[in-house]
Amino acid sequence: MIDLAVRGVRLTGEPDGALSDLLVDQGRFVAVVPAAAGSPAAAGGDGDDQAPQARTVIDARGAFASPPYVEPHVHLDATLTAGEPRWNVSGTLWEGIACWADRKATLSRADVIDRATEVLRWQVANGVLHVRSHVDVTDPGLVALDALLEVRDRVKDVVNLQLVAFPQEGICSFPGGDRLVEEAAVRGVDVIGAIPHFEDTREDGVRSLEIAVEIAVRHGLMLDAHCDEIDDEQSRFAEVLATLASRSGLRARATASHTTAMGSYNAAYALKLERILARSGVNLVCNPLVNLHLQGRLDDYPKRRGLTRVKETLAAGINVAFGHDDIMDPWYPLGTGNPVQVAFVGAHATQLTSPGEVAECFAMVTDRAAAVLGLGDEYGIAAGRPASFVLLPASGPFDVVRRQVRPSHVVAHGHLVASTPPSVTTLRWPGRPAEPVDFVRRR
């Protein structure tokens, strides 16, 4: 008797109609097998003999089973503070940082725990079971850091939370910035951050990356820097990050987030940079919702999109993921923490719109984001791995993104943690009987 059997799922890459069963025990997949004939076998039920008995059976009815969504970039310390103490009227990154500095002064541990937990609940309901959150450590009290360390522990049975020591106001430009990042490493963050384009000088920007890499290596941590998040084509810290990642050995354990200036570089420099990035093995994270909103604010027309070069960097063999970045905070007033919206908008914004490219956008919120977090064998649908997955009533990744399909089931370590019944729209077309519409093209 095993804990859970999921009967009749479609796995990515399988030919149409080939269904599988997922067998789960003690929180891990024990086998992924061709679907057993006959109806689902519940404990004590009358299923066929070859199918092992399970305490719980989910009849997937041909739903697409995917590893869970992975959120590679969000700011849970600031989430749900939009409008506090004032709204970001200009819509720039810089006014957002100023609004946040005011709000940061009023933070309490309970306030951070309450907001972060609320958004993690939304994320899990959307099928996200791995989250990398930045937390601003340019606060001598480290209030948000201590709160999120507690949240990380409280939620660990459901969602795997990685924390990045993010020096929002700079490592060199903020008094004691380097000591605060070091202290965050000692208190137990998973990843070291930086923000070189915000430092007062180019030299401080370079120095801040050197400090961040040194702390990461010394503590055995990963690195994820906000890097070149500005419409200034002169902002060129990605080359520094990639080179330090190569020389320090961090490589794929390092990530350059945002890199929006890449959308403004000339072609000659972009080609040079793509080679440096590819050789280094670093990851990129593009945040299409937020950078479409923040960037280009000072442009007349034509207005830049303000995103990194996603299509070109993917083609150069660089791992790129999509992140949400913000959910209702000083930098972005919208959002529900749903990665399918990120993939959908990302497809448009980066012009990844052929069927294969739309499927790639799905990978950028699942497998590619998992690689950013370094999840390795702790991610994916295969025997021995954690039984964490989503069922999507869709034919595959392209269909999920096109129709913005919600997961019907979210399973974390073998436990059903969220379920969504299908929503049905009934069309009453003149002269026809009332009929359901699901936006699937069948002819």
Q: Which residues bind ligand 17E (CB under 6 A)?
A: 75, 93, 168, 195, 226, 229, 290, 325-326, 331
**Binding-site partner at residue 331 among Fe ion, ligand 17E, none, CB < 5 to 8 Å by type:** ligand 17E
Q: Is 127:68 a contact under the CB 8 Å cutoff?
A: yes
- Looking at the Cβ atoms of 19 and 131, the one nearer to ligand 17E is 131
At its nearest, how many Å lie between ligand 17E and the CB of residue 59? 41
- Looking at the Cβ atoms of 164 and 387, the one nearer to Fe ion is 164
The one-letter amino acid at 107 = L
- Looking at the Cβ atoms of 177 and 396, the one nearer to Fe ion is 177
- Looking at the Cβ atoms of 100 and 265, the one nearer to Fe ion is 100
Part of the chain binding Fe ion (CB under 5 A), chosen from 78-86, 275-283, 307-315, 323-331: 323-331
Angle at which helix 238-248 crosses helix 202-219, to 10 degrees, equals 30
Residue nearest to Fe ion (CB): 325
Nearest to 320 by CA among 272, 352, 363: 363
How far is it, in rounded angstroms, from Cα 422 to Cα 216?
A: 45
At its nearest, how many Å lie between Fe ion and the CB of residue 219? 22
Residue 242 half-sphere exposure, CB side, CA atoms within 13 Å?
21
**Binding-site partner at residue 244 among Fe ion, ligand 17E, none, CB < 5 to 8 Å by type:** none
- Looking at the Cβ atoms of 265 and 331, the one nearer to Fe ion is 331
Residue nearest to ligand 17E (CB): 331
Q: Can residue 136 be called a binding residue for Fe ion (CB under 5 A)? A: no
How far is it, in rounded angstroms, from Cα 163 to Cα 173?
A: 22
**Binding-site partner at residue 195 among ligand 17E, Fe ion, none, CB < 5 to 8 Å by type:** ligand 17E
At its nearest, how many Å lie between ligand 17E and the CB of residue 349? 15
**Binding-site partner at residue 199 among Fe ion, ligand 17E, none, CB < 5 to 8 Å by type:** none
The interface with Fe ion within residues 378-417 (CB under 5 A) comprises none
Q: Which of 229, 274, 357, 378 is catalytic?
A: 229
Q: Which of 325, 329, 360, 367 is in the footprint of Fe ion by CB under 5 A?
A: 325
At its nearest, how many Å lie between ligand 17E and the CB of residue 238? 15
- Looking at the Cβ atoms of 195 and 347, the one nearer to Fe ion is 195
Part of the chain binding Fe ion (CB under 5 A), chosen from 180-188, 324-332, 409-417, 435-443: 324-332
Check if 150 is active-site.
Answer: no
Q: CB atoms < 10 A from the CB of 433, how many? A: 7
Among positive and negative, which fits the CA dihedral 254, 258, 259, 262? positive
**Binding-site partner at residue 168 among Fe ion, ligand 17E, none, CB < 5 to 8 Å by type:** ligand 17E
At its nearest, how many Å lie between ligand 17E and the CB of residue 335? 11
- Looking at the Cβ atoms of 7 and 134, the one nearer to ligand 17E is 134
**Binding-site partner at residue 229 among ligand 17E, Fe ion, none, CB < 5 to 8 Å by type:** ligand 17E
At its nearest, how many Å lie between ligand 17E and the CB of residue 229? 5
At its nearest, how many Å lie between ligand 17E and the CB of residue 294? 6
Cα first-last separation, the chain: 43
Binding residues for Fe ion, rule: CB under 5 A, are 325
Catalogue the active-site residues.
229
